[in-house]
């Protein structure tokens, strides 16, 4: 919620921030709440699958963080 508020009219973030990064982070943040209802529904059908989704989701958020790849590109471009 806070990210969407901050980036809503781009008035609260640096103007130089890449708009592509903002869109990627929007999608990245929306992934969690869209997957959670699936995990909740699976808990009634197949609890083990639901547990695996709950365990995998944080790992996916850490491993596929779009901000990390953006910062890495910035570091490489300044060299």
pLDDT at 10 over 80: no
pLDDT at 57 over 70: yes
- 23 against 52, higher pLDDT: 52
Q: Calculate mean pLDDT across residues 31-55.
A: 93
Distances in Å between the Cα of 42 and the Cα atoms of 29, 57, 59, 61 are 21, 14, 19, 20
For residue 65, give every residue at least 6 positions away whose Cβ sits within 8 Å of its Cβ, in sequence order, or none: 28
């Amino acid at each position: 919620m806070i990210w969407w508020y901050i980036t809503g009219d781009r008035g609260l973030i640096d103007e130089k921030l890449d708009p592509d990064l903002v869109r990627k982070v929007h999608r990245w943040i929306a992934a969690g709440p869209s997957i959670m209802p699936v995990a909740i529904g699976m808990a009634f059908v197949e609890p083990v699958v639901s547990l695996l989704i709950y365990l995998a989701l944080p790992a996916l958020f850490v491993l596929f963080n779009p901000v990390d790849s953006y910062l890495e590109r910035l570091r490489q471009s300044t060299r």
